[in-house]
Amino acid sequence: MLKVENVSKKYGGHVALDAVSLQVPKGSIFGLLGPNGAGKTSLIRIINQITMPDSGRILLDGEELQQKHISYIGYLPEERGLYKSMRVGEQALYLARLKGLSKEEATKRLYYWFDKFEIRGWWNKKIQELSKGMAQKVQFIVTVMHQPKLLIFDEPFSGFDPVNAQLIAKEILQLRNEGATVIFSTHRMESVEEMCDDIALIHESKKILEGSLFELQKQFKSNSYEIGLKTDRRDEVKEILATKYKITNADFQSMENDLKLNLHLNGKMSSNELFQSLLPYGEVSHFVEKIPTMNDIFMKAVSK
């Protein structure tokens, strides 16, 4: 759906993007990640034609990005932009008309979303009367109501309590399932794991990682296991295992007072072989391969 080719952007002497290339698959949720100041917002602004790249190009659905594509995109910025003194319904209709919808069609779609979020009673309220989370719901509706091909959400859960954050996450997944392509920028790594199919990580203006979440977890896994052993010889068993494997103390929840260890394999021993090798030392009560979290991957990639 979106192809970014060698895009660079400078602001004065500051390099915001340095020859960044990435591809966003159709019908996917694509995580655009990076520390503060990495260049994510600069790229999002270029995709939305708020600013232009110094070099490189962007293709949207096979065509080089042009003005007509603005109506193909729905953008929820991190810094919200609703007019505080306008009434909710009046403002939503105004923004819908800017996206090319007739008043009749805009009203129909807005009523659908307002009823879905159970906020029809807010129609005649002013934005300044709403909480941050309530205003966020309105902005989300304004972003998606024209059924764009590409949705860009920049920190979409900011201001939401856990219940409403889950509601918005569910709607984003549903939009993906209905055919929309989503670019999702957030610092909440648990949300990336729950929602994203693919990710790109930008750091200091350069792309340093890109791929499916599954492939990146395989790439960064450390061949480590959390184990719990029921044994009366805790210190002795720990010393024996330390001669065979690299071990560190583990901290996981358990109903038993087990010997808890992180066990790091050096060779190509299978998980089955490892499990069997532990049986002489006690009852194995916990045995889990340590899959790197998105937070682990983020920290390791950026620190490198």
Taking the C-alpha atoms of residue 239 and residue 170, their distance in angstroms, rounded to an integer, is 48
Pair 250, 202 in one domain: no
Torsion 227-233-235-241 (CA) sign:
negative
Rounded to two decimals, what is the model's pTM?
0.82
Pair 167, 78 in one domain: yes
Q: Is residue 296 assigned to a domain?
A: no
Taking the C-alpha atoms of residue 35 and residue 210, their distance in angstroms, rounded to an integer, is 15
pLDDT at res. 252: 77
Pair 179, 84 in one domain: yes
Q: What is the pLDDT of residues 29-84, one digit of tens each?
A: 999 988 888 889 899 999 999 999 999 999 999 999 998 888 889 998 877 678 88
Q: What is the pLDDT of residues 224-233, one digit of tens each?
A: 888 888 888 8
Phi, psi for residue 239 in degrees, rounded to 5:
-65, -40
Q: Is residue 195 assigned to a domain?
A: yes
Pair 162, 126 in one domain: yes
Taking the C-alpha atoms of residue 80 and residue 63, their distance in angstroms, rounded to an integer, is 29
Q: What is the pLDDT of residues 224-273, one digit of tens each?
A: 888 888 888 888 888 888 888 888 888 777 666 788 888 888 767 788 88
Q: What is the pLDDT of residues 157-171, one digit of tens each?
A: 877 888 888 888 999
Pair 30, 88 in one domain: yes
CATH number assigned to the domain comprising residue 276: 3.30.70
Question: Which range marks the domain in which residue 233 is found?
Answer: 222-291
pLDDT at res. 241: 86
Q: How many domains does the chain have?
A: 2
Average pLDDT, stretch 199-213?
90
Pair 184, 90 in one domain: yes
